[in-house]
Amino acid sequence: MRYWKKYSKKQLKKRIDQALASVVDFQNSKSLGYPVSKLDENVFNTNDTILNEAPLLKSFIANPNNIGCHTLGKSEEAFKGSQELEKEVIRVLASDLFKAEENAYDGYIATGGTEANIQALWIYRNYYQKEYKATLDEMVILASEDTHYSVYKGANLLGLENVSVPVDFERREICVEALESIVAELVSKGKKYVMVISNMATTMFGSVDDPDVYAGVLRKHPLQYRIHIDGAFGGFIYPITHKKSTIHFGNPEVSSITIDAHKMLQAPYGTGVFLCRKGLIENVLTREAQYVDGMDLTLVGSRSGANAIAVWMILFSYGYYGWFEKINTLLLRTEWFCRQLDALEIDYFREPHMNIVTLRSNFVTVDLAHKYGLVPESHDGQNQWYKVIVMDHVEIQDLEKFLNDLQDSLVDKTA
Ligand SMILES: *Cc1c(COP(=O)(O)O)cnc(C)c1O
């Protein structure tokens, strides 16, 4: 880990104060041209001494705008401080977590996984249009049936066809034979340009797709393809728990990655991360964005610099080793939970590097699912699965209570 360090509270506070000092100060300077200001002091308590010990609240009040992408070209001068911290976040994630080479990546803090996934599709669509004069009809999105619905939103917005690849019911793995026949059929229908969304932990199962499986099939055809990894949920878990993972920029098949900081990292909402290799993000340059100094390469326009500071604070409060320990604690709890389910002979799916356990619904009564806030796979009466996510707040005692109730309900059933 070259960049992912742990800083003391004092060091964190100092860096944030420095960053805010180089953000345009609406209180004391005369910034006449920006359509922004700090939060309204007539409404919010913006001067409390408590803020001195609360660097994130202070950042929200200073209200910097991290508009644009800061790994490339120039950026707005007015918000340099919070942009610098964002750049450090992107560097840690691209280099340390996903093994990118020095300065071989671009990225920004998007509003969430939805935006980051759509940003990827938008880049590839424009890339195929520019490089190959491809038409929309010649392009297709491929993703497993367990893929997040944001990909359907993206397909709809961008006018692209989306084809679902079936997975094995129990293993939640892509059916390679089905993928092969789907691709052969798409080629015969004139598709030439493919965008793959490969999951690094699906929302419902925590299942992980192997991008090399997609690549292996697509390579046999006269096709161009690019692979985007949707690690919205798994991005802060899987690369940590699976040391031999091949899902990173060291794998030439991987072109871009989504990670959400507002899920596992517990950052405030509005903190998804988009990462890609150099040379791709320029495909979505909006030339008309003339009032923004620097290039506008992002789907979102104005966005909160405080959010970037929040992610920075979390990463550098833990450091890599602190985060590693935290995730491994959750994994131990998940393993404990699975052993208990095994003892009760309950069927479930679990990816061994993830903290999601998805139970077959025939073992779980609707009442029990409600009582413990289990999330069903579908709300339409056809539900076959319920998931448990072992997050920070889910402790063994909580799991134990659930297991006791589950056992009682099983006894009821057989009685
Ligand atoms: C949550 C999630 C998303 C969407 O993220 P938002 O941050 O809610 O926009 C996309 N993909 C996966 C796998 C997710 O779990």
Indicate whether residue 154 lines ligand 1 (CB < 6 A). Answer: no
Atom of ligand 1 nearest to the CA of 233: 15
The whole-angstrom separation of Cα 392 and Cα 265 is 10
> Cα(250)–Cα(331) distance, rounded to whole angstroms?
25
275 within 8 A of 285, measured Cβ to Cβ: no
Q: Report the DSSP pairing between strands 105-110 and 272-277.
A: antiparallel
pLDDT at 388: 97
Structure confidence at residue 336 (pLDDT):
98
Q: Is the CB of 150 under 6 A from ligand 1?
A: yes
Find out whether the beta carbon of 207 lies less than 6 Å from any atom of ligand 1: no
pLDDT of residue 128: 98
CA nearest ligand 1 atom 6, residue: 113
Question: Which of 233, 260, 263, 274 gets mutated to test ligand 1 (max ligand atoms within 8 A of its CB)?
Answer: 260
Exposure string of 125-140, with b = 16+ CB inside 10 Å and e = fewer, is: bbbbbeeeebeeebbb
Q: State whether the beta carbon of 271 lies less than 6 angstroms from ligand 1.
A: no
Q: How far is the CA of 287 from the centre of ligand 1 (A)?
A: 29
Supply the pLDDT for residue 32.
67
Q: Is 147 in the pocket of ligand 1 (CB under 6 A)?
A: no
The pLDDT value recorded for residue 31 is: 65
Measure the CA–CA gap between 147 and 246, rounded to whole angstroms.
Answer: 20
Top mutation candidate among 111, 114, 303 for ligand 1, by most atoms within 8 Å of CB:
114
Going by C-alpha positions, the residue among 315, 302, 304, 199 that lies closest to residue 266 is: 315
Q: Which CATH number fits domain 320-414: 3.90.1150.10, 3.30.9.10, 3.40.1360.10, 1.20.1280.50?
A: 3.90.1150.10
* Residue 36, pLDDT score: 67
Is 46:61 a contact under the CB 8 Å cutoff? yes
Give pLDDT tens digits for 78-89. 788 999 999 999
Q: Ligand 1 centre and the CA of 164: distance in Å? A: 17
Rg of the chain taking only CA atoms, in angstroms: 23
Rounded-to-integer distance, Cα 311 and Cα 397, Å: 30
Q: What is the distance in A from the centroid of ligand 1 to the CA of 53?
A: 32
The predicted structure's pLDDT at residue 35: 65
Mean pLDDT per 10-residue segment, the chain (415 residues): 95 94 68 73 85 92 92 82 96 98 97 98 98 98 98 98 98 98 98 98 98 98 98 98 97 98 95 98 86 82 96 98 97 98 97 98 94 92 94 94 95 71
Nearest to residue 390, comparing CAs of 208, 282, 302, 264?
264
Task: Tell me whether residue 169 is exposed, middle or buried, using C-beta atoms within 10 angstroms of its C-beta: 0 to 12, 13 to 18, 19 or more.
Answer: exposed
Q: What's 80-302's CATH class? A: alpha beta
Counting residues of the chain whose pLDDT is more than 90, the rounded percentage is 84
Shortest-distance atom of ligand 1 to CA 147: 13
**Domain spans of the chain, in order of start:** 80-302, 320-414
If you measure from the C-alpha of residue 114 to the centroid of ligand 1, how many angstroms do you get, rounded to a whole number? 6
pLDDT digits (tens, 9 = 90+) for 319-366: 999 999 999 999 999 999 999 999 999 999 999 999 999 999 999 999
205: burial class by Cβ within 10 Å (0-12, 13-18, 19+)?
Answer: buried
- Sequence-distant contacts of 172-179: CB under 8 A, at least 24 apart: 172/146, 172/202, 172/205, 172/207, 172/349, 172/351, 173/207, 173/209, 174/144, 174/209, 174/210, 174/213, 174/214, 176/213, 176/217, 179/142, 179/213, 179/214, 179/217
